[in-house]
Amino acid sequence: MTKKQKMQRDLSFDIRALDDEKRNFELSFSSEEAYQRWFGSEILSHEPNAVDLSRLNEIGVLLYNHNRDKVLGRIDKAWVKDNRAYATVTFDDDEEADVIYQKTKSGTLRAVSVGYTVDSWEEVAAGKKSSDGRHAGPCSVALKWQPYEISIVSVPADATVGVGREMEHEPEVFEKGDYSYYERQILLNKNLGGIII
């Protein structure tokens, strides 16, 4: 695992319409729920100063399915409370954004995902606890991380437990010495600037 990678995680969320006329909503976009990655269990710390919300609060955008060409609106405000990150978002009123706005408002689309980078990790060995004593290993705890976009997503992988995840590519079954999956992942990371897909 490199020190800084672009990553994504999806959640089901309880959306709360704040003002239908202004087209804004409040939603939760991250938590400390463990998330299974190819390298093991990942936890995003929400301790004070762990989450850098400056980019979201200064120039944050709301996307559809992490597509940078599908801008739905803006992030008005992002904050952390009770080990969760929240945001108030406003949908644009163009035709493309309105389709997703109406589906979100009706409850058809109920999953959200966050794109982020991690600057500092704590690797917690099996049978050990994290330095703050809150997380049991084995796991990787993101101690310093920065969200850079929030997306409304259409297909979370596991909506039944309240935390949905986009389907990640898992390593295929391979013979000893066959590293083709990992070679493809390295090439993808290189070509896509570190995005894990």
3-state secondary structure of 25: strand
pLDDT at position 195 over 80: no
Average pLDDT over residues 116-133: 92
Give residue 44's pLDDT: 93
How do residues 6-31 score in pLDDT, each as one tens digit? 665 555 555 555 566 788 888 888 88
Give residue 61's pLDDT: 95
Name the pLDDT band for 172 (thresholds 50, 70, 90): very low
What DSSP assignment string belongs to 124-159? E-TT-B-TTS--BSSEEEEEEEEEEEEEEES--S-G
Give residue 5's pLDDT: 57
Average pLDDT over residues 141-164: 69
> Residue 189 corresponds to which tokens in the numbers above?
């990371």
On the 0-12 / 13-18 / 19+ scale of CB atoms within 10 A, 4 is middle
Cis peptide before 48 (omega within 30 of 0): no
pTM: 0.72
Give residue 156's pLDDT: 54
